[in-house]
Amino acid sequence: MALSQQSGILQQGASEERGENARMASFVGAVAVADLVKSTLGPKGMDKILQSMGRGQEVTITNDGATILKSIYVDNPAAKVLVDISKVQDDEVGDGTTSVVVFAGELLREAELLVNQKVHPMTIIAGYREACDCARSVLELISFNNRSDPALFRADLLNIAKTTLSSKILTVDKEHFANLAVDAILRLKGSGNLEAIHIIKKTGGTLQESFLDEGFILDKKIGVGQPKRIEDARILVANTPMDTDKIKIYGARVRVDSMAKVADIEAAEKEKMREKVRKIIDHGINCFINRQLIYNLPEEMFADAGVMAIEHADFDGIERLALVLGGEIVSTFDNPDTVKLGHCKLIEEIMIGEDRLIHFSGVALGEACTIVLRGASTHILDEAERSLHDALCVLKETVSDARVVFGGGWPEIRMAKAVEELASRTPGKKALAMEAFARALRALPATICDNAGLDSAEIVANLKAAHGAEADSRMGVDVVRGEAGDMAELGIYESFRVRQQVLLSGTEAAEIILRVDDIIKCAPRKRG
Amino acid sequence: MSLAFDEYGRPFIILREQERKSRVKGIEAVKASIMAAKTVARTLRSSLGPKGMDKMLQSPDGDVTITNDGATILEMMEVENQIGKLMVELSKSQDHEIGDGTTGVVVLAGALLEHAESLLDMGMHPLRIAEGYELACKVATENLDNIKTRFEFSREDIEPLVKTCMTTLSSKVVGRLKRPMAEICVKAVLAVADLERRDVNLDLIKVEGKVGGKMEDTRLVEGIVIDKEFSHPQMPKELRDVKVAILTCPFEPPKPKTKHKVDIDTVEKFEALREAERTYFTDMVQRCKDSGAQLVICQWGFDDEANHLLMHQNLPAVRWVGGVEIELLAMATGARIVPRFQELTADKLGFAGSVKELGFGTTKDKMLVIEGCPNLKAVTIFVRGGNRMVLDEIKRSLHDAICVARNLVRDNAIVYGGGAAEISCALAVEEAADKVTGVEHYAMRAFSDALQAVPLALAENSGLPPIESLTAVKKRQLQESNPYLGIDCNDTGTNDMREQNVFETVIGKKQQLFLATQVCKMILKIDDVIKPSDFE
């Protein structure tokens, strides 16, 4: 470091850390981030308040690992790797975002001890890799699959949803929400298209009042003086300007020499709009939904024709509506015969709390549904939405890959056992790394215990003993009673995909950080 | 002396404002340069070889890159020093020419300069040292020609090629999956290679990445992947046996480049213009339809109206496709790039076996995969990885491996790796040095010593005792006159690199020697460094 600064190789303000220093910096950074989210793990995990730096100082309360890490500003490059990993976990499987960071952090903590004992990082990596392969095959072996039996499969899904939700704010009503989520997912019939599930948040009421609606709810207003209730609706979903239709030919401009002509052209413009509206009405529709604004003139015309017109449904809304109603998104109106209209049995305006929403029921695509969340404050609603999203993602993954494992640290204990057996058969220093891997795996159930205020050493030791005594023991951490308990009886299940992803990403992240022996920070860009 | 006096004894300024410039001269200048170069080389030294460590680089904006690719490290280090920059250039030119060995070349150059320094201390003239190095370099490259072996492969037997790529990949983060990755690279290269002309156009291999999934999910698409989706959400997501039209004109009314105005002053004109606009849209779409196209790929955007008309005519379309992708698509599908609707005819269409829209994970990212093109000359390697850093690193590693495969297709002469070639060259140079008298003798010896720095670093990074391993191999090479013995980095128990299948291309190795020697020469020739001091 000193050398490169003396000779002025790097820019001013840049720094270079090598060897031990670099390794130390990355260990410290990564472990710090892992410790930060550690306390949110498990059913008794605590929440964090995040205050945004921007104007308004918005406050978010959450215990979702990915959300926390996304919002904090980290300067340490190694910590950034962990933040990234949790983001990917969120994108890929939606849950386990905290677990993956805690696991990677534990791996690094163990690695630090080994490095201090003069084990070469490459040896540690080799050991971790082998241990990871072993753990993975064990995980595959112990997973089970109930897809063939719909009733059991549903029970599995329900249990998974409950397990996921139990660590979130929804834990009080987890039964209710688990049912909501499973119903919603099963409606998708395996298509896994989460877009068809629409979540609407409305403050007021209690979480318990949240419900699943089998239709589609659009948070928009119906135009003035138009019917508020339509049966057997024929719907045209459009994306077209309904304010002033601009001339798109480049360079066109209006230049007139008298006021009379201005009036003429204005009239022509109006006529153009009238004609457009007429064309739209000629489609034989009684509901018109547009992505863009609808001005008063066309709105009035629609009202005269008894057509319900809904303006300004945003792009997502339009796509989803088109999907749900089975219509196409229309932008030209010259060929009414070939346009595919959307249909639904009933459109009506409903009240939720104090807001009026538009409710489409009896839609063509039976997959769609809307979950309306109610809650006392926006913070609760936001967190509820995040939790529900997690649950939905996990359920979706489970529907596509029906393998399931028990929760409560059960797979970790099993994997740790297998890895330790492998270590005892492996010659050389790699075995040390494998043992460390097993310890890192066991740290996950230990953290769950710690967060619940339990004696983690005692419980994990009991678990270890239980699994050692009986090869296919189902013991895991029972947080409620504060002891080792039978996971099958408690109904604590988790998705296989989530656990596998935690294992693989965690190991990968640890490996990346371990491989580094030199950190070069460029001079920060001057912000002018 | 930058101050002179004229005939009247008045001071005469040669360098303006010299007190504000720092200046180093003579042997000091050479030494300072060597110092700088050595520092850069030292940073890279620990990244050499299969057990080389990675470097973590934080960019000025705070983005983190983790890599052990020499060229990338140097590029992102933002080296300030001019000599340091020379080293960066050195590694870059190796990257451009060969694509691999970017770390090796810098380590070698660093070692050459280090040895030159001690020769300078002995009072030798820098240029004589440089000349000696040139001489030695010639001997070394001749030796490379002597020990090289031909490397046989064919389109059917790709095994040898795969093995070479595996060597390259073993030092990277994808080491765990070197076998499948190497196969992907070789297949990609062979798919686009022109074996008769011994040429590979790397533009035809695209490496696309998407964060998420596992490394194992990386695959070779015998076609093209575009990071775009169909323009209308309701267009079919999968097409089979389609005729493709490639357009570089927007589905919008024309925008002439000359300045113009269309004046509207009467109602009739207004109506006429409206009508013209409407027919313009229908015309455009109709033309595409009439030509028989079943998929339209456009470089520009569409108006909402055009988008709907396309959808209505059952004409799936993709918009905002980048220029490079357009060209690739045109090559693959055999379509002509059409700049105007008027010129769109049936014979300008291309063909694709299948076009699919793929979605990933829980996010809504989508990509188009175009496969089954008649002209299988374009392939895409689609990379998946746990996070962006891993992904970028995999991409860089694959690029290296692809370059190696390409070099072998170009010229199939190889030498063995693991430091074997360097040791053999070092021995040859040493032998040649004994026949030379004068300063060059010492310079050549120094060159030979510097060559050994590479196997030395390899052994060091692999956790082997460097000096013992090096000397042992050297002794065996001398005794058995077997130039295939190298450092056993992977701990497999044999030093014979033929058994370990560790080899590199002769072109790559030669390039390393040439480039390193040239840079040395350049640095040794500098005897005066003048730079303005920093602005306050």
For the stretch B445-463, pLDDT in tens is 999 999 998 888 888 888 7
| A316 has a pLDDT exceeding 80 | no
Question: What pLDDT score was predicted for residue B155?
Answer: 74
Contact B80 A11 (CB under 8 A): yes
Q: Which residues contact A151 (CB under 8 A, 6 or more apart)?
A: none
The phi-psi region of residue A361 (left if phi > 0; otherwise alpha if psi is between -120 and 50; otherwise beta) is beta
Q: d(Cα A514, Cα A111) in Å, to the nearest integer?
A: 8
Question: What pLDDT score was predicted for residue A8?
Answer: 59
pLDDT top residue among B273 and A405: A405
Structure tokens belonging to residue A264: 């003429």
Concerning whether B471 is annotated as a catalytic residue, the answer is: no
Radius of gyration over alpha carbons of chain B, in Å?
Answer: 30
Radius of gyration over alpha carbons of chain A, in Å?
Answer: 29
DSSP B20: G
In DSSP terms, which residues pair with B251 in a beta bridge?
B302
- When scoring A7, A72, A430, A498 by the number of chain B Cβ atoms within 10 A, the one with the most, hence best to mutate, is A7
Contact B362 A92 (CB under 8 A): yes
Of B254, B244, B259, B248, give the one whose Cα is nearest residue B280: B254
Contact B53 A517 (CB under 8 A): yes
Stretch A434-458: mean pLDDT: 89
From A173, A382, A390, A450, active-site residue: A390
Contact B390 A4 (CB under 8 A): no
Q: At what angle do helices A410-425 and A121-142 cross, to 10 degrees?
A: 130
Contact B264 A511 (CB under 8 A): no
| A392 has a pLDDT exceeding 80 | yes
Is the Cβ of A14 closer than 8 Å to some Cβ of chain B?
yes
Of B352, B318, B326, B348, give the one whose Cα is nearest residue B221: B352
The phi-psi region of residue A433 (left if phi > 0; otherwise alpha if psi is between -120 and 50; otherwise beta) is alpha
From A40, A67, A98, A398, active-site residue: A98
| A43 has a pLDDT exceeding 90 | no
Q: Are strands B223-226 and B366-371 parallel, antiparallel or unpaired?
A: antiparallel
Render pLDDT for B120-136 as a digit per residue (tens, 0 to 9): 888 888 888 898 999 99
**Chain A, 155-194: which have a CB under 8 Å from a chain B CB?**
194
Question: SS3 for B86?
Answer: helix
Q: Are strands A483-486 and A252-254 parallel, antiparallel or unpaired?
A: unpaired
Which helix (H) or strand (E) is A438 found in, with range? helix A430-451
Return the number of other C-beta atoms located less than 10 Å from residue B260's C-beta. 10
Return the number of other C-beta atoms located less than 10 Å from residue B224's C-beta. 24
Concerning whether B102 is annotated as a catalytic residue, the answer is: yes
| A437 has a pLDDT exceeding 90 | yes
Closest to A9 (Cβ–Cβ): which among B84, B232, B361? B84
Q: CA nearest A271 in B: which residue?
A: B271
In DSSP terms, which residues pair with B337 in a beta bridge?
B246
**C-alpha torsion B71→B76→B80→B81, nearest 10:** -20
Amino acid at B434: D
Contact A9 B256 (CB under 8 A): no
Q: Are strands A229-238 and A342-352 parallel, antiparallel or unpaired?
A: antiparallel
Concerning whether A337 is annotated as a catalytic residue, the answer is: no
Q: CA nearest B462 in A: which residue?
A: A122
Whether A111 contacts A510, CB under 8 Å = yes
Structure tokens belonging to residue B150: 């031909």
Structure tokens belonging to residue A473: 């023991």
Question: What is the number of H-type helices and E-type strands within chain B?
Answer: 17, 22
A298-326: b (≥16 Cβ within 10 Å) or e: bbbbbbebebbbbbebeeebbbbbbbbbb
Q: CA nearest A268 in B: which residue?
A: B267
Give the predicted TM-score (pTM) of the model: 0.78
Question: What pLDDT score was predicted for residue B219?
Answer: 80
Q: d(Cα B161, Cα B190) in Å, to the nearest integer?
A: 10
Structure tokens belonging to residue A484: 């080792």
Structure tokens belonging to residue A516: 């580094």
Amino acid at A189: K
> Among A411-420, B255-264, B381-390, whose mean pLDDT is lowest?
B255-264
Q: Which residues contact A110 (CB under 8 A, 6 or more apart)?
A: A436, A437, A439, A440
Closest-CA distance of chain A to residue B269, Å: 10
Q: d(Cα B427, Cα B238) in Å, to the nearest integer?
A: 62
Question: SS3 for B335?
Answer: coil
| B76 contacts in chain A (CB < 8 Å) | 520, 522
Question: SS3 for A382?
Answer: helix
Q: d(Cα A126, Cα A115) in Å, to the nearest integer?
A: 14
When pLDDT is cut at 50, 70 and 90, the band that residue B13 belongs to is: low
When pLDDT is cut at 50, 70 and 90, the band that residue A1 belongs to is: very low
Whether B100 contacts B405, CB under 8 Å = no
Q: Are strands B413-416 and B503-505 parallel, antiparallel or unpaired?
A: antiparallel
Of A385, A395, A392, give the one whose Cα is nearest residue A207: A385
Return the number of other C-beta atoms located less than 10 Å from residue B36's C-beta. 26
Question: What pLDDT score was predicted for residue A3?
Answer: 45
Question: SS3 for A263?
Answer: helix
**Chain A, 378-397: which have a CB under 8 Å from a chain B CB?**
393, 396
| A378 has a pLDDT exceeding 90 | no
> Among A43-47, A364-368, B272-276, whose mean pLDDT is lowest?
A364-368
Of A8, A14, A13, A18, give the one whose Cα is nearest residue A519: A18
From A62, A67, A97, A164, active-site residue: A97
**Chain A, 105-164: which have a CB under 8 Å from a chain B CB?**
120-123, 129
Question: What's the mean per-residue pLDDT of chain A?
Answer: 80
Of B217, B199, B167, give the one whose Cα is nearest residue B421: B167
Question: What pLDDT score was predicted for residue B123?
Answer: 87
Does the ipTM exceed 0.85? Answer: no
DSSP string, A97-144: HHHHHHHHHHHHHHHHHHHHTT--HHHHHHHHHHHHHHHHHHHHHH-E
Whether A249 contacts B262, CB under 8 Å = yes
Looking up tokens 């290679």 gives B193
| A2 has a pLDDT exceeding 60 | no
Q: d(Cα B174, Cα B9) in Å, to the nearest integer?
A: 71
**C-alpha torsion A420→A421→A424→A428, nearest 10:** -70
Is the Cβ of A98 closer than 8 Å to some Cβ of chain B?
no
Contact B264 A520 (CB under 8 A): no
Question: What pLDDT score was predicted for residue B363?
Answer: 54
Concerning whether B218 is annotated as a catalytic residue, the answer is: no
Is the Cβ of A330 closer than 8 Å to some Cβ of chain B?
yes
DSSP B230: B
| B78 contacts in chain A (CB < 8 Å) | 10-11, 14, 522-523
Return the number of other C-beta atoms located less than 10 Å from residue A379's C-beta. 18
Question: What pLDDT score was predicted for residue A86?
Answer: 83
When pLDDT is cut at 50, 70 and 90, the band that residue A5 belongs to is: very low
Question: SS3 for A485?
Answer: strand
Question: What pLDDT score was predicted for residue B492?
Answer: 73
Is the Cβ of A240 closer than 8 Å to some Cβ of chain B?
yes
Q: d(Cα A197, Cα B166) in Å, to the nearest integer?
A: 46
Whether A223 contacts A303, CB under 8 Å = yes
In DSSP terms, which residues pair with B357 in a beta bridge?
B368
Contact B78 A84 (CB under 8 A): no
Across A428-442, B189-203, B351-365, which has the greatest mean pLDDT?
Answer: A428-442
Of B357, B377, B379, give the one whose Cα is nearest residue B368: B357
Contact A516 B55 (CB under 8 A): yes
Q: Which residues contact B207 (CB under 8 A, 6 or more apart)?
A: B380, B381, B383, B395, B398, B399, B402
Contact A250 B256 (CB under 8 A): yes
Q: d(Cα A171, Cα A164) in Å, to the nearest integer?
A: 9
Closest to B53 (Cβ–Cβ): which among A81, A272, A515? A515
> Among A7-11, A148-152, A366-370, B26-30, whose mean pLDDT is lowest?
A7-11
Q: Where are any strands of DSSP class E within B329-433?
A: 337-338, 350-359, 366-371, 379-385, 413-416
| A252 contacts in chain B (CB < 8 Å) | 261-262, 264, 273
Q: d(Cα B157, Cα A302) in Å, to the nearest integer?
A: 71
pLDDT top residue among B182 and B361: B182
Contact A329 B312 (CB under 8 A): no
Q: d(Cα B466, Cα A34) in Å, to the nearest integer?
A: 38
Q: Are strands B238-247 and B366-371 parallel, antiparallel or unpaired?
A: unpaired
Return the number of other C-beta atoms located less than 10 Å from residue B219's C-beta. 13
Instruction: Tell me the HSE value of B179 on the side-chain side, using a 13 A CA sphere.
Output: 0
Q: d(Cα B94, Cα B85) in Å, to the nearest integer?
A: 14
Contact A505 B386 (CB under 8 A): yes
Stretch B36-63: mean pLDDT: 83
**Chain A, 469-528: which have a CB under 8 Å from a chain B CB?**
504-505, 508-509, 511-512, 515-525
When pLDDT is cut at 50, 70 and 90, the band that residue A192 belongs to is: low
From B65, B72, B102, B505, active-site residue: B102
Q: d(Cα B277, Cα A332) in Å, to the nearest integer?
A: 12
Instruction: Tell me the HSE value of A511 on the side-chain side, using a 13 A CA sphere.
Output: 25
Which helix (H) or strand (E) is A360 found in, with range? strand A355-363
Q: Where are any strands of DSSP class E within A204-244?
A: 211-213, 216-218, 229-238
Whether B318 contacts B298, CB under 8 Å = yes
Whether A191 contacts A401, CB under 8 Å = no
Contact A508 B390 (CB under 8 A): yes
Closest to A516 (Cβ–Cβ): which among B53, B212, B390? B53
| A239 contacts in chain B (CB < 8 Å) | 304, 308
Question: What pLDDT score was predicted for residue A6?
Answer: 45
